[in-house]
Structure 1
Amino acid sequence: MKRRNLFAGAAGIAAAGLAPAFAAPGRPSTFVLVHGAWHGGWCWSRVVSRLRAAGHTVFAPTLTGLGERRHLISPQINLDTHIDDIVNLLDFEELEKVVLVGHSYAGIVISGVADRAAPRLRQLVYLDSLLLESGKSLFSDFPPAVVEQRLKAIRDTGGGVGAAAALPPSAFGVKDPTDAAWVARHLTPQPVGTYLQPLLLKAPLGNGLPKAYIECTGDPIATLEPTKARVRADAGWQRRTLATGHDAMVTAPGPLADLLIELAA
């Protein structure tokens, strides 16, 4: 009876979305989780705890000028800065066979990392993220009205740091009031150089590594639709969906962790 009650309690916790993900059979994986614009490594905390509980090694770095590294923000920060952040992490931690995950803007970052450090990687996972062709910047494919909105936000930020003020949590699909308050407290301005510098690749996108795309289907973001259409039309991608908003690591950390484990296996 006692054992039955234990299992029943565990099932109740899992149904509430509180239980950690459990590892699929096989060796544990090494994950590097890269956050999107305005965010920081903090946004992955709920996913990190679940992956580590399942026996995996996890890094969730914060890119230069954002999150707890906001004191480093400057007009000199650009896309290369953020690519170097992750390449240096891989090198100095001597990581191998990494499952590299990029959310939103960080899809561009992990594409650059794969171009420079493919031998350290095993797989790329793009989480509701952007893809760029070599030679294009983040602004290249944005509608002119969106570009002007972002540039206005940069002008309004002021301070000479060259940064765009963060969008509200609702723009990322975060609707729960407690979650939204947590996210709002941690969002920081995004360096404008990351919008303006083109991604330059020597190899085709992904550099020969397996690629997966996770599409968040709740409140889809219009600027991501060209990327998603490109992925749907290419049989070379593994595709998965999550019925949640853009910030899946906040709104659906359990299902996201389970999906990452599934893809890594």
Structure 2
Amino acid sequence: MQRRTLLHLAAGTSAAAGLLGSTVVRAADRKTFVLLHGAFHGGWCWAPVAERLRAQGHRVFTPTFTGVGERAHLLSPTVDLNTFIQDVTAMVEAEELRGITLVAHSFGGYVASGVIDRIPERIASAIYLDAPMGSNGVSVLGEAPADVRQARLAAADVINGTRVITPPSSTAFGLSDVAQVAWVNRRMTPMPLRAYEMPLALSGPPGGKLPKCFIRCVDPALPNIEPSARYAREHGWNYSELQTGHDAMVSMPDKLAEMLVA
């Protein structure tokens, strides 16, 4: 029953048919995906996409950053952007992963860039899904447009001594389906403000020398993502668009899973 509910929430009644129709890939074509979530989310948001990828025989990991999602009980004043980067690098090393396709959504783009900078030898390619890639010495808030920065700071609060940003409604991420909105709203958790304020430390350009792809969600398109999309186009990244809103892993998991494999 839980599986049916998840499929319905993610993509409507056609999702089950798409999943059951998935073709299992040959062993030589199987990939290892590490899927990074965005702000206020957790590894849980990737469940619809991960289910489809695993049905095809791919290995999929969906780590949750310290202090959010099912790890919200670990929230503390010391959690910052480097904590998130360490979460992912530690998981990759503990699982002895190599040849990874690293996929980052939204805020997770900063984390992905930090991970690639630290362990590039373990990563085969990177996909930024409507995600800012960041740059050396710049924080998420420092890069954000003034209106986005002001909105984030206006949503600041204190939980058990930790400054946090409280989550908006998931409609801000382009979701409109009532069931999807409710599912994401009840799962989101506050984000530690320090993660937004800490500058990203990189030794080179974001994404390094790896093959990179940028997927832009354009229906509706979030204006604050456009500078990152433009950077990707101008620097020769593979670029494609997805006709859905920002939380594509929830609103269009079939098509997104297809694009990640391709």
TM more than 0.5:
yes
Aligned to 1:45: 47
Deviations 1:198-221 (A, max 9, x none): 011112222211111111111111
Structure 2: distance between partners of 1:152 and 1:38? 16
Aligned to 2:8: none
How far did 1:23 drift? 5.1
**8 Å Cα contact 2:104/2:112 also seen in 1:** yes
Aligned to 2:186: 185
Structure 2: distance between partners of 1:77 and 1:212? 29
Task: Give the share of equivalent positions with the same residue, in percent.
Answer: 41
Aligned to 2:174: 173
Give the residue type in structure 2 aligned to 1:242.
Answer: L
**Alpha-carbon distance change, 203 to 143 in structure 1, aligned in 2, over 3 angstroms:** closer
Give the residue type in structure 1 aligned to 2:14.
Answer: A
SS in 2 for 1:140: helix
Give the residue type in structure 2 aligned to 1:227.
Answer: S
Structure 2: distance between partners of 1:158 and 1:188? 11
Structure 2: distance between partners of 1:112 and 1:254? 28
**8 Å Cα contact 1:23/1:261 also seen in 2:** no
Structure 2: distance between partners of 1:123 and 1:133? 18
How far did 1:140 drift? 1.2
Aligned to 1:242: 242
How far did 1:226 drift? 1.1
Question: Is structure 2 residue 114 aligned with structure 1 residue 106?
Answer: no
Deviations 1:198-252 (A, max 9, x none): 01111222221111111111111121111112122222x0111110110000000
Aligned to 2:259: 259
Structure 1: distance between partners of 2:24 and 2:241? 20
**8 Å Cα contact 2:133/2:207 also seen in 1:** no
Structure 2: distance between partners of 1:159 and 1:64? 15
**Alpha-carbon distance change, 233 to 100 in structure 1, aligned in 2, over 3 angstroms:** same
SS in 2 for 1:31: strand
Report the TM-score when normalising by structure 1. Answer: 0.89
How far did 1:24 drift? 5.6
Q: Which runs of 5+ in 1 are unaligned?
A: 1-13
SS in 2 for 1:33: strand
Aligned to 1:67: 69
Aligned to 2:36: 34
Deviations 1:18-65 (A, max 9, x none): 322435664200000000000001000000110000000000011100
Structure 2: distance between partners of 1:87 and 1:159? 27
Shifted more, 142-151 versus 73-82: the winner is 142-151
Q: Which stretches of structure 1, 4 residues or more, deviate above 6 A after TM superposition?
A: none
Shifted more, 140-149 versus 194-203: the winner is 140-149
SS in 2 for 1:259: helix
How far did 1:15 drift? 9.2
**8 Å Cα contact 2:103/2:129 also seen in 1:** yes
The equivalent position to 1:154 in structure 2, one of 150, 153, 156, is: 156
Question: Is structure 2 residue 201 aligned with structure 1 residue 203?
Answer: no
SS in 1 for 2:207: coil
Structure 2: distance between partners of 1:207 and 1:22? 33
Aligned to 1:16: 14
SS in 2 for 1:220: coil
The equivalent position to 1:95 in structure 2, one of 94, 97, 108, is: 97
Aligned to 1:76: 78
Q: May I ask how many residue pairs the two structures share in their alignment?
A: 247
**Alpha-carbon distance change, 23 to 134 in structure 1, aligned in 2, over 3 angstroms:** farther
**8 Å Cα contact 1:136/1:199 also seen in 2:** yes
Higher-Rg member (1/2): 1
How far did 1:123 drift? 0.5
- 1:119-134 mapped onto 2 (5 Å cutoff): 119-134=121-136
Aligned to 1:233: 234
Structure 2: distance between partners of 1:234 and 1:204? 10
Q: CA RMSD in A?
A: 1.6
Structure 2: distance between partners of 1:103 and 1:249? 9
Q: Which runs of 5+ in 2 are unaligned?
A: 1-11
Structure 1: distance between partners of 2:253 and 2:83? 28
How far did 1:17 drift? 3.4
